[in-house]
């Protein structure tokens, strides 16, 4: 067997496993950080400092009864969580999390620490994120319940509206990085100016970064853009009728989407795995630290800001964020043209 092939398989398996773990870690972090922001201790009973809390959560969810409304379309009802989870995991497949490595000379040629290698990685992420809408739409429709349907329609309209700004922010980074491949965009951010400020794109594109993060938060249906699944308004939106494992799938998909958006933002704007003091082959530690910082930012936003009302949300997406993204792209294009 070709050692490169085996190494590739191991990398794929490892990435999948770590992604599952990252969802669990995000659940734990969410509750601890929420507790910290609200000046209370989070969960601290289950395991040391509550670290086994996600395990307890998942076990509780798995032991619940699996319900299905009688008038629900059985096939679509079962398909919707599968679609959500598949899209969430597939988007992470093209995100590289470390530099090319030969594992200390074990391999004849370097392989990328990436589950799949395509040279149009940025577009693939965008495409798979657009497919994530279907899980939500089908969940709402097949539940045959008005809360679910309204939540699903609002959620999908919100997601496709904010996808535009997401794509335009991506396009501006594409101009700077000069390639669609994420590895090359990260490598374009190596080094630093004056030895002090790292050459990350966030310093060249601060507005672009902001637009990307805001659009990312809206894409993943997190607060302050989580009107479609808000408890006070819509019971639980599109996953009202789901319980046990299907709900766990939606839950998992939401957190994995969060991790994916943070990972892509890290690679595009925060320099990926480049950082001072550590050698190249330990770059993945910097990568994890940056992704954790962005996840913390996500959680901080949720527990600090009040929720946008739906029409305010759509107004913001179309009339504020989209023109800002277009202007950002034009300005970036002008500057790149002038400087080369």
Partner 1 sequence: MDQVLFYVFAALTVVASLFVIAQRNPMYSVLLLIASFLGLSGLYVLLDSPFAAVTQIIVYAGAIMVLFLFVVMLLNAPHEEPPLRTTIPVTIGGRPLRVGAVLGVLFLAEMAWALSRLARQPIGGDERTAGLVSSVRQIGVELFTTHAFAFEVTSVLILVAMVGAVALAKRNL
Q: For residue 220, what are its two tokens?
A: 């993943």
The whole-angstrom separation of Cα 220 and Cα 8 is 29
Question: Which one among 127, 289, 333, 334 touches partner 1, defined by CB under 8 A?
Answer: 127
Of 299, 237, 255, 274, the closest CA to residue 92 belongs to: 255
Q: How far is the CB of 102 from partner 1 (least distance, A)?
A: 26
Give yes or no for residue 133 binding partner 1 (CB under 8 A): yes
Nearer to partner 1, 124 or 249 (CB): 124
C-beta of residue 244 within 8 angstroms of C-beta of residue 66:
yes
Subset of residues 170 to 189 that bind partner 1, contact rule: CB under 8 A = 180
Please give the full DSSP string across 100-125, using - where no structure is assigned.
-B-TTTTSSS-B-SSS---TTHHHHH
Stretch that binds partner 1, among 54-62, 129-137, 287-295, 308-316 (CB under 8 A): 129-137
| Single residue of 25, 37, 58, 153 touching partner 1 by CB under 8 A | 153
Q: Which of 51, 119, 192, 243 forms a contact with partner 1 (CB under 8 A)? A: 119
How many whole angstroms separate alpha carbon 269 and alpha carbon 49?
A: 33
Distances (CA, A) of 129 to 9, 170, 318: 24, 13, 19
128 in contact with partner 1 (CB under 8 A): yes
76 lines the binding site for partner 1 (CB under 8 A): yes
> Least separation, in Å, of the C-beta of 194 and partner 1?
32
Residues in contact with partner 1, shown as a per-residue x/- string from 272 to 311 under the rule CB under 8 A: ----------------------------------------
DSSP β-ladder status, 197-198 and 192-193: antiparallel
- For partner 1, the closer of residues 29 and 124 by Cβ is 124
By CB under 8 A, tell whether 130 contacts partner 1. Answer: yes
Q: Are 29 and 7 in contact (CB under 8 A)?
A: no
Does position 123 interact with partner 1 (CB under 8 A)? The reply is yes
Quick one: 120 or 289, whose CB is closer to partner 1?
A: 120
Short-list 164, 177, 246, 167, CA closest to 205: 177
CA distance 196 to 276: 10
Instruction: Provide the binding-site residues for partner 1, judged by CB under 8 A.
Output: 73, 76, 118-120, 123-124, 126-128, 130-131, 133-134, 137-138, 141, 149, 153, 156, 160, 180
């Amino acid at each position: 067997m070709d050692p490169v092939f085996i190494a590739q398989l191991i990398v794929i398996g490892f990435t999948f496993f770590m992604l599952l773990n990252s969802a669990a870690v995000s659940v734990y972090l969410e509750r601890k950080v929420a507790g910290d922001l609200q000046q209370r201790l989070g969960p601290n009973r289950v395991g040391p400092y509550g670290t086994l809390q996600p395990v307890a959560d998942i076990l509780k969810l798995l032991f619940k009864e699996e319900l299905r409304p009688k008038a629900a379309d059985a096939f679509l009802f079962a398909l919707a969580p599968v679609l959500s989870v598949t899209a969430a995991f597939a988007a992470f497949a093209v995100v590289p999390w470390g530099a090319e490595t030969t594992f200390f000379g074990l391999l004849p040629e370097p392989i990328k620490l990436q589950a799949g290698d395509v040279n149009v990685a940025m577009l693939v992420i965008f495409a798979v994120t657009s497919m994530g809408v279907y899980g939500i739409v089908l969940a709402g429709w097949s539940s045959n319940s008005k809360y679910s349907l309204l939540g699903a329609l609002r959620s999908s309209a919100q997601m496709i509206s904010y996808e535009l700004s997401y794509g335009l922010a991506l396009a501006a980074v594409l101009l700077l990085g000069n390639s669609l491949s994420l590895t090359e965009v990260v490598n374009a951010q190596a080094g630093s100016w004056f030895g002090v400020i790292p050459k990350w794109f966030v310093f060249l594109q601060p507005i672009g970064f902001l637009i990307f993060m805001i659009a990312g938060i809206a894409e993943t249906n997190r607060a302050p853009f989580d009107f479609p699944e808000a408890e006070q308004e819509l019971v639980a939106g599109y996953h009202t009728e789901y319980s046990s494992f299907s709900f766990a799938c939606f839950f998992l998909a939401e957190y994995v989407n969060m991790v994916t958006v943070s990972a892509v933002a890290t690679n595009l704007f925060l320099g990926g795995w480049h950082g001072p003091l550590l050698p190249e082959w330990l770059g993945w530690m910097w990568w994890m630290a940056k992704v954790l910082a962005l996840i913390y930012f996500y959680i901080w936003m949720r527990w600090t800001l009040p929720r946008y009302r739906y029409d305010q949300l759509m107004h913001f997406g179309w009339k504020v964020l989209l023109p800002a993204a277009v202007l950002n792209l034009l300005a970036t294009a002008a500057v790149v043209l002038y400087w080369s």
